[in-house]
Chains A and B, each alone.
Chain A
């Protein structure tokens, strides 16, 4: 009810300086401390990495169109799938939602002027660039063929590819995650606007909080692991290679101690976006707010205790296998809680089908399959058969692409009007959301069947009886590719020709919708005071719904 000036909606036109128009020189971007500009620079960079990773994916699917090794040699194929994994995981998925959407929105959503440590934020971007450039340099020099998992002793002793350069790239990049995570935690603790209590935080902020915890606790372990790998490769100290006294299984423990929690770095922020979308496009307070918030924290905590489920057949003790299987099953519960609460939120809502909501509904379907097939793989007797097959490939693509990438795209469409001030074509947005959903399922569902039939992953050639399903998968990948490229065109088009979006195109209560689009450099003209609960769509939110409705009906009539 207070703070009315910040919620003045619609009809912009006041020639305010926003974060985009506040300086046009290259220097004003490269030396900016504005979290929004940093987010835009992240957006551009990770999009390039996503494109490169996508090109590798296309090469994989084209090679697998036929059972023989024909399009690529085995040597090239091994590099292609390795580099697909490295670029997608370390340089796209991990920074995607936190570094782009989180960076842009987290301060605005809690009513802050910026992140707590703006210079550290810029530093994290530069670290990411250095790590990324080093990795790209290594790929151009000849690339790496160890698989993104870098299993020893292949990676330390046997591979002749650029393991060290890529490892260093990932090592450096890890510090970017750590700094981002640290910055988010400090910001959420210290920079909340008056009235923005913990339980008034949007769930996107909770999800990023949980993600940040995992980032700062997990990433140092992978940094240490890569360092040990480097020590072994360069000065031949026996750490992982048994021929000089090391233990190859130790590497797997260290690697998965980070890389399993990293899976949650990749999915938790996506869950946060989906909570926003489901609630806002149903115009209803999210069902079970506290349960969704704490399930994020539970996932982050239990995520640290299940790394051994990547090693069921590695020769670890069967009792260790049983314990890890049990803990893995426990993680299923908080994920199920989220799923049920999202579904219940739709009940008696006012559900609209704008493009971001289509992505959110798609996410629910795909994450459901991704999560349930996780149970297959957590059930240890079954996973002996399934591990290292295409079933695993299909499962983690359902979670990573069907989950995180879909959520990221949903988030980009949702906040695009805020970030750019422009509205994209709803029509093309919907078409692309549906193409992505159909193409994705056609690509990856057949891989579950291939996996149960025993097709091992990372195979450049395969038995001819498995070709039909592989053709389906490749056909699906081309639909998926088209669906993913379309936003580049219509979002790009909206920058030039898009209609002005207005400050609050959907009349939503979040703080980000109570400042102008694009926001000014300091985010709010006046420090906001929060007097409403999270996801408050009624009159208590202070939004002028009456005039919005009458404006809308006037627009419809005329």
Chain B
């Protein structure tokens, strides 16, 4: 399945970013050659033509030239600005996640990648994605920094404990590609990798069907919310509920006690579960206990997915759910819950 790139010494190109990054790279090589050749030729030419002919000679004195200095300050500046702009355009696209992407959740852990699809399928150190579909990864880690790196897609992003980071890509070519951890994470860092499988939509659907697994993240989150963690006792129940209303808040500005406002994004929801008294919504008391140490990163991902769904934000999963088999309520297939981060030390 492994294919090689059309340019020797380049890695596989298999995403919509590949040609952009390759083009930028080619442009920079061109510039480098265009700078190197004249300078190296000049050095050799001068060094040979003006080699010492008489010991302790006194060559004619030359003073600097403002014109030359200006020219060779401005030219590199202009060229470097084109490089900056090219890089900025590609970067902006790499890190601006489109809205219509399919959701995949990634949790890093020394030294494995735990991945869950929006439809509930789980995999470890492997990621299956369909060709031609935008895929958004929402990532965090249970312990130290990691970095989810897929050279064939020409993208990567650090995975940071205590917060979510995101990356996205659209694969363009079916195949099997390297997945690396690119941020040093301790003992078995070089073993923390695997493969990304890009499949035709049909094959991907078959793969999904063959991997009947537990609940979707939204269903898991609902279960946690209503039964296991008891969030519903305060956050559901209508007009006089004690906890803040969660319906319809996602990605909206929320007024806080003290007058500030905050956007209720994934990071805010996550923080509010772990550290509830930090940013209390206006009109409510700071009475919620912290859930730090009681929920794993994977459960947090599910809770956030469920709370998002309360705002009708199910777009990322709705499409793929159609292809997925009916949800299976048993949790038998789920990965064993990880230890909370605080205890992961040794």
Cβ 8 A contact of A154, one of B24, B25, B145, B190: B145
Which of the 9-residue segments B117-125, B151-159, B299-307 touches chain A? B151-159
Q: Does B54 contact A (CB under 8 A)?
A: yes
Residues from 76 to 115 in B contacting A, C-beta threshold 8 Å: 76-77, 80-81, 83-84, 86-96, 110
Q: Are A361 and B94 in contact (CB under 8 A)?
A: no
Q: Does A22 contact B (CB under 8 A)?
A: no
In addition to A153-B145, A157-B345, A456-B181, 9 A-B residue pairs with Cβ atoms within 8 Å of each other are: A284-B61, A344-B68, A348-B59, A372-B31, A375-B28, A375-B32, A378-B80, A384-B91, A384-B154
Tell me whether A552 and B24 are in contact in the complex, defined as CB-CB below 8 angstroms, given that A153-B144, A248-B145 are known contacts.
Answer: no
Binding site for B on A (CB under 8 A): 69, 74-75, 78, 145-147, 149, 151, 153-154, 157-160, 241-245, 247-249, 282-285, 287-291, 312-315, 318, 321-322, 325-326, 329-330, 332-333, 336-337, 339-341, 343-344, 346-353, 361, 364-365, 368-369, 372-373, 375-376, 378-385, 387-389, 449, 452-454, 456-463, 507, 537-539, 545, 548-549, 552-553
Interface centre among A249, A283, A380 (most CB of B within 10 A): A380
Residues from 201 to 240 in B contacting A, C-beta threshold 8 Å: none
Interface centre among A160, A329, A539 (most CB of B within 10 A): A329
Complex alpha-carbon distance, A146 and B186, angstroms: 7
Nearest CB of A to B160, in Å: 5
Complex alpha-carbon distance, A285 and B165, angstroms: 54
Cβ 8 A contact of A349, one of B40, B59, B344: B59
Complex alpha-carbon distance, A151 and B141, angstroms: 15
Q: Are B145 and A291 in contact (CB under 8 A)?
A: no
Name the CB-closest residue of A to B11: A453
Nearest CB of B to A109, in Å: 21
Q: Are B24 and A382 in contact (CB under 8 A)?
A: yes
Q: Are B190 and A350 in contact (CB under 8 A)?
A: no
Nearest CB of A to B1, in Å: 14
Q: Give 15 CB contacts A-B under 8 Å.
A: A78-B187, A153-B143, A159-B186, A243-B341, A249-B160, A284-B61, A336-B72, A368-B35, A372-B32, A378-B80, A382-B21, A461-B190, A537-B59, A549-B54, A549-B56
Cβ 8 A contact of B80, one of A243, A249, A375, A539: A375
Residues from 37 to 77 in B contacting A, C-beta threshold 8 Å: 39-40, 42-43, 46-47, 50-65, 68-69, 72-73, 76-77
Complex alpha-carbon distance, A291 and B68, angstroms: 11
Q: Does B162 contact A (CB under 8 A)?
A: yes
Q: Does B20 contact A (CB under 8 A)?
A: yes
Contacts of A343 in B (CB 8 A): 39, 42-43, 46
Cβ 8 A contact of A385, one of B21, B60, B80, B181: B21
Q: Are A378 and B84 in contact (CB under 8 A)?
A: yes
Q: Are B158 and A375 in contact (CB under 8 A)?
A: no
Complex alpha-carbon distance, A454 and B55, angstroms: 52
Tell me whether A313 and B86 are in contact in the complex, defined as CB-CB below 8 angstroms, given that A158-B143, A452-B11 are known contacts.
Answer: no
Tell me whether A315 and B158 are in contact in the complex, defined as CB-CB below 8 angstroms, given that A159-B186, A291-B64, A379-B83 are known contacts.
Answer: yes
Contacts of A553 in B (CB 8 A): 55
Nearest CB of A to B290, in Å: 11
Nearest CB of A to B17, in Å: 8
Q: Are B25 and A452 in contact (CB under 8 A)?
A: yes
Q: Does B200 contact A (CB under 8 A)?
A: no
Q: Are A449 and B9 in contact (CB under 8 A)?
A: yes
Complex alpha-carbon distance, A364 and B38, angstroms: 13
Complex alpha-carbon distance, A369 and B76, angstroms: 15
Q: Are A74 and B88 in contact (CB under 8 A)?
A: no
Name the CB-closest residue of B to A535: B61
Contacts of B187 in A (CB 8 A): 74-75, 78, 145
Cβ 8 A contact of A548, one of B56, B60, B110, B189: B56
Residues from 171 to 200 in B contacting A, C-beta threshold 8 Å: 178, 180-191
Contacts of A337 in B (CB 8 A): 69, 72-73, 76
Contacts of A282 in B (CB 8 A): 50, 59
Tell me whether A336 and B76 are in contact in the complex, defined as CB-CB below 8 angstroms, given that A376-B25, A379-B24, A380-B88 are known contacts.
Answer: yes
Contacts of A75 in B (CB 8 A): 187
Contacts of A368 in B (CB 8 A): 35-36, 39-40
Contacts of A158 in B (CB 8 A): 110, 143-144, 186, 344-346
Complex alpha-carbon distance, A351 and B68, angstroms: 22
A to B contact number (C-beta, < 8 Å): 301
Name the CB-closest residue of B to A381: B90
Q: Are B64 and A289 in contact (CB under 8 A)?
A: yes
Name the CB-closest residue of A to B77: A333
Name the CB-closest residue of B to A375: B83
Name the CB-closest residue of A to B144: A154
Cβ 8 A contact of B184, one of A154, A375, A380, A387: A154
Complex alpha-carbon distance, A378 and B83, angstroms: 9
Interface centre among B52, B184, B341 (most CB of A within 10 A): B184
Complex alpha-carbon distance, A539 and B57, angstroms: 11
Q: Does B163 contact A (CB under 8 A)?
A: yes
Contacts of B11 in A (CB 8 A): 452-454
Tell me whether A454 and B149 are in contact in the complex, defined as CB-CB below 8 angstroms, given that A247-B162, A352-B52 are known contacts.
Answer: yes
Q: Are A284 and B147 in contact (CB under 8 A)?
A: no
Tell me whether A379 and B151 are in contact in the complex, defined as CB-CB below 8 angstroms, given that A325-B91, A349-B59, A352-B52 are known contacts.
Answer: no
Cβ 8 A contact of A351, one of B35, B40, B52, B62: B52
**What mask results when residues 334 to 346 of chain B are scored 1 for a CB within 8 Å of chain A, else 0?**
0000001110111
Contacts of A339 in B (CB 8 A): 39
Complex alpha-carbon distance, A153 and B28, angstroms: 35
Q: Are A346 and B47 in contact (CB under 8 A)?
A: yes
Complex alpha-carbon distance, A492 and B145, angstroms: 47
Contacts of B96 in A (CB 8 A): 318
Contacts of A384 in B (CB 8 A): 21, 90-91, 94, 154-157
Complex alpha-carbon distance, A557 and B135, angstroms: 80
Tell me whether A388 and B147 are in contact in the complex, defined as CB-CB below 8 angstroms, given that A313-B156, A315-B165 are known contacts.
Answer: yes
Nearest CB of B to A373, in Å: 8
Tell me whether A456 and B182 are in contact in the complex, defined as CB-CB below 8 angstroms, given that A462-B190, A545-B58 are known contacts.
Answer: yes
Nearest CB of B to A49, in Å: 23
The 3 nearest A-B residue pairs measured at CB: A454-B151, A242-B162, A381-B90
Contacts of B161 in A (CB 8 A): 153, 241-243, 248
Q: Are B149 and A284 in contact (CB under 8 A)?
A: no
Q: Are A291 and B69 in contact (CB under 8 A)?
A: yes
Q: Are B91 and A333 in contact (CB under 8 A)?
A: no
Contacts of B147 in A (CB 8 A): 313, 388
Complex alpha-carbon distance, A315 and B51, angstroms: 53
Q: Does B10 contact A (CB under 8 A)?
A: yes
Cβ 8 A contact of A461, one of B24, B92, B191: B191
Interface centre among A284, A315, A361, A545 (most CB of B within 10 A): A315
Contacts of B52 in A (CB 8 A): 283, 350-352
Name the CB-closest residue of A to B24: A382
Complex alpha-carbon distance, A336 and B69, angstroms: 10
Nearest CB of B to A315, in Å: 4
Contacts of B36 in A (CB 8 A): 368-369, 372
Complex alpha-carbon distance, A375 and B76, angstroms: 11
Name the CB-closest residue of A to B44: A361
Tell me whether A74 and B185 are in contact in the complex, defined as CB-CB below 8 angstroms, given that A290-B64, A549-B56 are known contacts.
Answer: no
Complex alpha-carbon distance, A501 and B160, angstroms: 59
Complex alpha-carbon distance, A62 and B183, angstroms: 23
Cβ 8 A contact of A545, one of B51, B56, B180, B341: B56
Nearest CB of B to A7, in Å: 13
Contacts of A283 in B (CB 8 A): 52, 56-59
